[in-house]
Chains A and B, each alone.
With several copies, the nearest count.
Chain A
Amino acid sequence: MLKQIMIAGFGGQGIMSMGQLMVYSGMIEGKEVAWIPSYGPEMRGGTANCSVSISDDPISSPHVTEPDILIAMNNPSLDKFEMSVKNGGVIFINSSLIDRKIKRKDVKVYYISANDKATELGDVRVANMVMLGALLKIDKLVKIDSIMESLKKVLSKSKHHLLPLNAQALEIGAREIGNN
């Protein structure tokens, strides 16, 4: 089955690496994967998004316009992509930065205060991992183990001390689902 995920937020929120970790993990698990970044027209700062496709079969189009899952890390992202999610899809909302509820009724939604949780963990930069943890709790797209393995490959040796922090963030994210 093909699953397509749209991840969107500010530049600097780790949008791109969240997507890359997912496809990396998918690949480790022998799945077909694709990742496409898209930077806003602003050259500096501004918004960014990436789309992820994970599938058991070869992927026709990796260009995601009707995602199964949306991870919205900030307000403009939700505004931009809310309506594009497939009927019956799932939206994960970073409620630390997004102050509104979604309008649609035909999708499932989870509100995760990712920034707050990450700050509690001592590093706001793992907010993306919190979201990822939440997502993987709901949809077993890839295994947490694969994510950790991917992280190990993606992070340079000198940053391996951050692995436990990331693991924690994933866990916290998963736990947050319970609060929804």
Chain B
Amino acid sequence: MSKVRVTFNEELCKGCELCKNACPKGIIEMAGYINAMGYHPAKLVNPQECVGCGFCALMCPDLVIKIEKEEIK
């Protein structure tokens, strides 16, 4: 498995939970706090379990999520 980094731009998040719903590993949760727009943003709880499937990013309507991968030489 390649190494992936999934990052959330919390200020864009509207807390819709579509990413959370899509994540096959169930590692996305909503934060307890709210962002400037007043929403509870999504965040990764167990990043190491991420399989880099990108489902979260595919489903996110607000371009909150960025995915990077270790290049496999």
Residues of chain A having any CB pair with chain B under 8 Å: 10, 45
Contact = CB atoms under 8 A, between A and B. Distances in A.
A10 B38 CA distance: 10
3 contacts: A10-B38, A45-B37, A45-B38
Nearest to B38: A10
Interface of B: 37-38
Contacts of B37: 45
A45 B37 CA distance: 9
Nearest to B39: A45
B15 to A, nearest CB: 12
Which applies to chain B's interface (DSSP): helix, strand, loop or mixed? loop
A160 to B, nearest CB: 30
B33 to A, nearest CB: 15
A140 to B, nearest CB: 34
A10 B37 CA distance: 10
Contacts of A10: 38
Contacts of B38: 10, 45
A42 to B, nearest CB: 11
A45 B38 CA distance: 10
A81 B38 CA distance: 21
Contacts of A45: 37-38
Nearest to A44: B14
B38 to A, nearest CB: 7
A171 to B, nearest CB: 28
A154 B17 CA distance: 33
B16 to A, nearest CB: 12
Nearest to B14: A45
A132 to B, nearest CB: 22
A94 B28 CA distance: 34
A1 to B, nearest CB: 38
A7 B37 CA distance: 20
A154 to B, nearest CB: 26
A48 B20 CA distance: 31
A38 B63 CA distance: 31
A81 to B, nearest CB: 20
